[in-house]
Structure 1
């Protein structure tokens, strides 16, 4: 603990008149970066603590979900840095294959150009140009909210080192037979002309039509079957009709063939347990190349799988008049033709059903049979599941573990190829005689061989992020020091896509290199989603999204961070709105004013005086500080950030500001020794409070802490440690009794119509028995009481039951209250309470209302009735006490 400066009051002048975040934050942040506070040292002897930043897309900008997750990670790393760890918070960006290529293609389209006009190499050069000129907006925004990342280690998934890691693991997987090429059904984007991942498919309810069609004979006495579909155009690729093998209606036709009404082919009737005999007619058309369930059935029954759409979802290869039509045009034309032939049995319009859409381009995705590259995930996903089962990685909250197991235990092989130009090109080369070879990063393809044109799914490279960013496959000092990482913080909505892939690849690498199984992180913290103040999910379509930078501009980065951190609990969604941000701004302002007041009154950070020389108030606030410190450590260690923020908020506002600062004012006038002790206690309490708050609200705490301590920076100071001093239970009880007494006197004064600052003579009877003699000056000051004169005559009194005795407070309110005005006010207040009581009573007596109203509504009205009843009694008693005055 450093000694106090000679004149603490002068330090108050170093603070501005009012806290203006916009004038301070960016300059302060750059100072931290320039000082190297966030730069990790791989040669340090300190214990390591590392977190990787989920790499945002190079095309992205900061949204509320980012702001929440970044705040959480910054809190974790700032605290660990103060606890003496060598901290690496690894930043970087994802090349975002589809999103980035789309952005650049749209720019070319403005000039009437396409990527084909430039060719692959020139187009990729243009993407790099765009990346250097316009990419990375989010990184500037990260600085605005105070992210303490190590910018010197900034990485990009297309960097040379990371590309080398991608090629290395691809070859390792390929050589072990875990990467293969096959025709499989994939999510296909006709506009982007590529396969897309599950996470890039968003399902929306759309109004379509359900058409029931007749296959086979139009003669009711001849074999026929009715099927229903929302995608009439896919019937051109039908290769069977399926029914349940035990359905008695179709026993006679299973194994036969049926006339197809458009192609004229005879297609088989098959029996399969997948078919639900209770749904519709109990018969379904099977189009294996254009429906995932049909594909599985086609595999089971060895059905042909003709593709009847090209990469732009135009009808092809059917030999019908529909060839060349767009899928939606064909849907209409085929239905019209079937209707003319009398084969449309029924149409249901509108028919609401869920349809997958491309997140990037917005159009309906098309399940499409396509030749793609896949990762065989069975052994990899089992290892990822076992890592959690065996306790090597812990998921917070544990309630989300079943979702983890449901995903990794039922994972399908992963389609990793994309029909794009921007991305990591698949390192497979083809020879002139059909040879196939996987070329590693230190190998060269034979002359005359051609590389596969596809690139890898973006998730492939981001799955390597925890170790590729540290130099793997080389054994770098960074890899040795900071891997595996400690915690991954991310939203629970991408647990399936990213977390599982990182786990799979990390465990595979460890096994391949014959090292002990190493998970990429020991903890996975899954936070919830951001919702608006009404609990609705934020989205562009609803128009309820909030730009976090708008809040930074309005309220400051600290207010944004505190708002988000205060609602951050494991796995729980949080609702935020302007009122919460404003409240957080007020909290920051409260801290500023409190610290400035303390400095103006000589508060100093020094060695604490002997406990015996401290007042009850001093010992109480120090003991509460120790209790709060322990609560914060426990909450941080269990990722209960909302709980930590609530503890800090109420300690700072309710106990330090509302009580101790007021008591300190009294103690400043109680003699030199008491005043000197109070200044040190106040300085220490505020300094430790600011240190506990620093991970959450770094900017205001830095400014105030430096003014209090005159030290370099709170960023690198030590985290508060346990005091080792036993709690003074007796002092805490006396302070609690004093607070109760003051609160009850204030309430009674209000009921008597006294103004807040209005002094009134009073006598306290029983104060000795209550063991509050030492607190009497504080009671008198904070309750606005004066010493009674010799002719004191009490006109009002109240009794307050405390721990050891009941204190009677007698007050002389004569001449302090306008009796007539007060009676009018109380009569109006009584009338309002009686009206509220009558209304609530009537509702609760209405059986029809009680039968329909939700329990929550009924409970709310009951609570209102109880409060109104209490108000009627209270105000009525007050009027009765006034009598005929």
Structure 2
């Protein structure tokens, strides 16, 4: 092994070897275990959310593979209709062209060309993360096989009466000219105004005042609503109002949607441009009046003066005219939530358009699609982790609306519907199929619908379309390679677990359940693990405009300051934002970002993966896990350097857990390429108590890790492995092994060397799902010493706790010994006693067991703690001034005379106590300021409270230490 761990030198080497080995493919043996990768956009690059999510999935796949499962990690990418089309349209804009200049066919060819050139970016980045995915089965949502599945589903549902075409209100992006899903809309808080407008009754004798943030939409008002129990306005219900600026007459209606406590209690109803108003209009049979064109200009349904105006231009004109007419009662500032398109930044306009819908709300739709999806969770076929997310899922399905599945784009799955010259609709997988199933004779030629399907429609088929459904026989890619075969691969349905974010429970999770249940009769997955959202170290949402985003590859490889600044500000067009981001980056990363390697990044994600909704990613913590990797590396070098001679035949030696009969047996030999010892030669249990203690602790650790894997507590299993590896193996067992390794007992030395090797190899297997690269590199130095013939760690069995024999008696002895050493070391540190100075040790009180243990461990205590041989103080005898630690009923005493200047040390402690008291007062002053507590971010207030807790703990310890000095 090299002297130091250099991640960059080993990662590409091992990933290429793993992929070439075929170990990522299903083994064909064992119980099927499948995970579906939520297909990232083909346009995308790896971000922190991807890296976190994929680390979790890879841990599960590697763990289950080592447990003997027939694993499949099904990967692929999504065609990402709007996002991909926008990228290519932006490229055309640079050439002063639009997609319409090219025409549909040429534009689609251009998109495919871009996909071939750039679409592998994110999958190559996933490889950098070390994912054990079967790349030979990589799919794309517009592959021929997946496209066939999409057409079949659409046609079957249409013929079953579950897909229909209708004129409904949708989120409309006027810049892109398409309907968009709720997920593609951001609600942004903006400063606006609330305008109050007076509407008179037709007879002019009475009036109402309505408040609105969108006065231009009054041109499409069809009613004014009041609460039916609002006694103030009961006289007006049923009366007609004269709509200002238009002259139209509209009724006053009663609807319990109205909040009578808000404003005047009157609400204008504009069904064509507001979702709540649309529902009210439906209840009261009010015909909506659409006043906007698809590019958000006023249409012919408004008075002529406003026609052709942009909606915001029309707003100014309407307000001016209302003021001139004396109908503008009040204008006041108002904060409002504005729906903004993620893709174009245009303000979304609720718009009545002709679209295709999936029926989820009629008696038939609920019975055949919605209810089975609900029952899958309520009946326990699908379990959410954490469980509370099941409520989110069921509440949404209980209140579901029909799904708008059409988009006005060119890139995507074109809707398999055709129209004749009379406007009749014909649906089929192709034109011939549509004609064959026609119920009327087509009039003239057929033309295909121009729209494409919502990207989520094809993504919802992912659990079974990727396995080859609906084709019989093998599905091949463009190179002739088999990527799926439904006949064989349906064993992977349902998959074991879906790892995804809570933001797409509605858009993807529920819809996968709907489609998979309907078309296969099965659930798509057994468990849904909802991963947390990654935020920055202060708990803030990561945003380019804040300058707090992190690129996982920058963490892996490192990046210098100037390239980091340039990269982070490249796409920021507003100078003030760019300056703010640059300032923050220079403050947060004055030396750039150091390279931590993939393993440290993965360990950080694992350690953060709790059941919380968000996790705070701190680079300092990631650097701590880089230190863990270095610690593991150095421990392995220590073990390997101490393998000096083989274990004597017939003497002690531990066997690695997870080895069944027929597996390669373990030897203790340190010579190159040793011959494995037979079971008889390996002999009895480990010789020393330290060996039996570490194996007992290893057994408990493995049992806990398996339990945490089963409950998806990745944070707890990471903590278990970290603490065992760092604290018990590296800090304790390596030290406890030194007396045996350096002693005269050859059998104890050989047994200890063997146990060191066995425990190290077991640690590497247990850590492999979290840190695959470093574990693989070290293991290839360890494996020959044990006579192992596996090519890679992934081929080794998972270490089983039940194959290790615990020795509780030995554990009790070693824990006593550890407590004594810890007490001595703590005193040395607190009293600033030089580490190399040998000091006296006194023991007091205790019982016969303590005395026996002190005698047994005397040499080890002296060697490891740098103390003289322990001396017992007789009961009742005078004791010197000493610092003490308590171990059970025994006191461990370090006489202070001659070791330190008591006066100087007491003075030093006094200064430190005063300093910390001052820090506590500062924090208390801040928290005592009501303005600070009310206005500071919650995380800042929490930090101040935590500082008080930390300072108080230190203060207590220092005061106790001072008292010890008399």
Residue aligning to 2:549: 545
Match of 2:733 among 657, 660, 663: 660
Residue aligning to 2:867: 785
1:709 aligns with 2:783: yes
Match of 1:828 among 884, 903, 908: 908
> Which moved further from structure 2: 450-459 or 399-408?
399-408
Residue aligning to 2:838: 759
Which whole-Å CA distance do the structure 2 matches of 1:422 and 1:863 have between them?
Answer: 57
Residue aligning to 2:537: 533
Which whole-Å CA distance do the structure 1 matches of 2:47 and 2:420 have between them?
Answer: 47
Q: Is this contact kept in 2: 1:263–1:320, CA < 8 A?
A: no
Return closer, same or farther for 1:184/1:26 CA change in 2, 3 Å cut-off. same
Q: Is this contact kept in 2: 1:375–1:414, CA < 8 A?
A: yes
Give the deviation of 1:459 after TM superposition. 0.1
Give the deviation of 1:136 after TM superposition. 2.8
1:453 aligns with 2:450: yes
1:577 aligns with 2:577: no
Paired residues for 1:629-648 under 5 Å? 629-648=702-721
Give the deviation of 1:541 after TM superposition. 2.6
Give the deviation of 1:806 after TM superposition. 2.5
Residue aligning to 1:8: none
Residue aligning to 1:615: 688
Which ranges of structure 2 fall in alignment gaps of 5 or more residues?
A: 436-443, 473-485, 558-594, 647-655, 657-665, 669-681, 785-789, 872-877, 934-940
Residue aligning to 2:421: 432
Which whole-Å CA distance do the structure 1 matches of 2:804 and 2:25 have between them?
Answer: 36
Q: Is this contact kept in 1: 2:493–2:522, CA < 8 A?
A: no
Return closer, same or farther for 1:717/1:240 CA change in 2, 3 Å cut-off. same
Which whole-Å CA distance do the structure 2 matches of 1:859 and 1:489 have between them?
Answer: 33
Which whole-Å CA distance do the structure 2 matches of 1:736 and 1:498 have between them?
Answer: 51
Q: Is this contact kept in 2: 1:396–1:571, CA < 8 A?
A: no
Residue aligning to 2:489: 479
Paired residues for 1:287-686 under 5 Å? 287-317=270-300, 318-349=302-333, 351-378=334-361, 379=366, 380-440=369-429, 443-446=432-435, 448-475=445-472, 476-510=486-520, 517-553=521-557, 554-602=595-643, 606=666, 613-670=686-743, 671-686=745-760
Return closer, same or farther for 1:707/1:843 CA change in 2, 3 Å cut-off. closer
Residue aligning to 2:585: none
Q: Is this contact kept in 2: 1:218–1:343, CA < 8 A?
A: no
Which whole-Å CA distance do the structure 2 matches of 1:210 and 1:833 have between them?
Answer: 57
Which whole-Å CA distance do the structure 2 matches of 1:556 and 1:103 have between them?
Answer: 31
> Which moved further from structure 2: 651-660 or 847-856?
847-856
> Which moved further from structure 2: 616-625 or 749-758?
749-758
Residue aligning to 1:109: 93
Return closer, same or farther for 1:180/1:668 CA change in 2, 3 Å cut-off. same
Give the deviation of 1:301 after TM superposition. 1.6
Deviations 1:343-363 (A, max 9, x none): 1000012x1011111111111
> Which moved further from structure 2: 706-715 or 864-873?
864-873
Q: Is this contact kept in 1: 2:226–2:258, CA < 8 A?
A: yes
Match of 1:249 among 216, 232, 251: 232
Give the deviation of 1:577 after TM superposition. 1.3
Task: Flag the structure with more relative contact order, 1 or 2, with Cα contacts below 8 A and sequence separation at least 6.
Answer: 1
> Which moved further from structure 2: 376-385 or 137-146?
376-385
Match of 1:687 among 761, 780, 793: 761
Q: Is this contact kept in 1: 2:695–2:805, CA < 8 A?
A: no
**TM-score, normalization by structure 1:** 0.91
Residue aligning to 1:806: 890
Which whole-Å CA distance do the structure 1 matches of 2:217 and 2:290 have between them?
Answer: 10
Match of 2:117 among 133, 144, 150: 133
Q: How many residues align?
A: 847
Residue aligning to 1:232: 215
Q: Is this contact kept in 2: 1:215–1:225, CA < 8 A?
A: yes
Which whole-Å CA distance do the structure 2 matches of 1:93 and 1:847 have between them?
Answer: 50
Which whole-Å CA distance do the structure 1 matches of 2:894 and 2:123 have between them?
Answer: 64
Return closer, same or farther for 1:53/1:725 CA change in 2, 3 Å cut-off. closer
Which whole-Å CA distance do the structure 2 matches of 1:788 and 1:771 have between them?
Answer: 11
Return closer, same or farther for 1:168/1:635 CA change in 2, 3 Å cut-off. same
| CA root-mean-square deviation | 2.7
Specify the SS of the correspondent of 1:263.
coil
Specify the SS of the correspondent of 2:306.
coil
Which ranges of structure 1 fall in alignment gaps of 5 or more residues?
A: 1-14, 511-516, 881-885
Which whole-Å CA distance do the structure 2 matches of 1:276 and 1:81 have between them?
Answer: 58
Give the deviation of 1:739 after TM superposition. 1.0
Residue aligning to 1:742: 821
Return closer, same or farther for 1:784/1:135 CA change in 2, 3 Å cut-off. same
Which whole-Å CA distance do the structure 2 matches of 1:148 and 1:843 have between them?
Answer: 48
Residue aligning to 2:23: 37
Q: Is this contact kept in 2: 1:239–1:303, CA < 8 A?
A: yes
1:91 aligns with 2:75: yes
Which whole-Å CA distance do the structure 2 matches of 1:432 and 1:847 have between them?
Answer: 75
Return closer, same or farther for 1:254/1:782 CA change in 2, 3 Å cut-off. same
Residue aligning to 2:6: 20
Which whole-Å CA distance do the structure 2 matches of 1:468 and 1:278 have between them?
Answer: 52
Give the deviation of 1:851 after TM superposition. 13
Return closer, same or farther for 1:725/1:177 CA change in 2, 3 Å cut-off. same
Which whole-Å CA distance do the structure 1 matches of 2:924 and 2:542 have between them?
Answer: 37
1:721 aligns with 2:800: yes
Return closer, same or farther for 1:164/1:678 CA change in 2, 3 Å cut-off. same
Which whole-Å CA distance do the structure 1 matches of 2:8 and 2:815 have between them?
Answer: 40
Give the deviation of 1:864 after TM superposition. 4.0
Return closer, same or farther for 1:259/1:579 CA change in 2, 3 Å cut-off. same
Which whole-Å CA distance do the structure 2 matches of 1:532 and 1:185 have between them?
Answer: 38
Q: Is this contact kept in 1: 2:843–2:870, CA < 8 A?
A: no
Residue aligning to 2:955: 868
Deviations 1:595-629 (A, max 9, x none): 01110111898358656552111001001001000
Return closer, same or farther for 1:619/1:320 CA change in 2, 3 Å cut-off. same
Which whole-Å CA distance do the structure 2 matches of 1:532 and 1:140 have between them?
Answer: 25
Q: Is this contact kept in 2: 1:526–1:571, CA < 8 A?
A: no
1:264 aligns with 2:274: no
Q: Is this contact kept in 1: 2:883–2:964, CA < 8 A?
A: no
Which whole-Å CA distance do the structure 1 matches of 2:201 and 2:434 have between them?
Answer: 59
Q: Is this contact kept in 1: 2:827–2:884, CA < 8 A?
A: no
Which whole-Å CA distance do the structure 1 matches of 2:298 and 2:819 have between them?
Answer: 81
